[in-house]
Amino acid sequence: MGIRAWHILHGIPWTRDKEQLDTLLRGATKLAPSSSKRSPRQPYTREYLSALRAYLDPKDPTDCAVWAVLTVAFFSIARLGELVLKKKGTFDETLHTTRARIRTDRDRDGREVWVITIPKTKVSAAGEDLCFARQDGALDPVTALLDHIAINDPPNNVPLFSHRVGRVGDNGGGWEALTKKVVLARVAQAAKVAKLAVLHGHSLRIGGTLEYMLRGVPFDVVKVMGRWQSDAFRIYLRKHAQILAPYLKENPEAHSAYTKYAMPPVR
């Protein structure tokens, strides 16, 4: 598609036969060695997060910020890169979220939803909202976020998930933004001590998706929460029997909901 788009943009005729090209691409995919394929990402789970939490110090500014990122990303089905910087020194208020972009909304029945606005994302130049709500127990993302704000108190001119460096009042004191590398390194360190598998950043988004599906949240709702423009998240359905089980019973309504997303369209 990228090569075709280049031809169109430059006014050059695209003469390739689509069916022939599709056949070639399918053949190349089948012939690709297994070493060239990325292994499936394992998801974060509630159990994994609970085990990890025991090895993060809630009073340490960095650990507190890392824990807030993990829980918010998990329960809002966010991409890790939407909440932290790609690398140090790249903060841009037009791209990255800050404390000023947190708000709460309520529905007509008074149910509270927390919202973090991302000014610009990889799929939306106009920005998108990450939505999450309070959860029972130690994994509550709202508590984690408020603890982070209480301990690190990031001002509105730094990234939301910044942690304090130096002591308050010191000339050298200030804030340092979390980067993806720092978060993953700290999580890997804690995971190894806890004797857990070291997971990837995208595993948070996968895990959050699976968590809501296992709760029985409708596919349409999960799609909206994850802000997918397509049905790309269908890949998660085919790898976890627990999600499919309710839809494989003799229940036409559930069955139709599943097949709408899991089955490819007829051409």
| Per-residue pLDDT tens over the stretch 38-70 | 566 788 999 999 999 999 999 999 999 999 999
Mean pLDDT along residues 132-136: 96
Q: In the block, which residue shows the tokens 């409708």?
A: 218
- Give the C-alpha separation, 179 to 88, whole Å: 6
Residue 130: CB atoms within 10 Å: 24
- pTM (predicted TM-score): 0.78
Q: Give the CATH class of 46-199.
A: mainly alpha
| Per-residue pLDDT tens over the stretch 20-37 | 767 777 776 666 666 555
Mean pLDDT along residues 155-161: 96
* pLDDT of res. 55: 97
Q: Write out the residue limits of the CATH 1.10.443 domain(s) in the chain.
A: 46-199
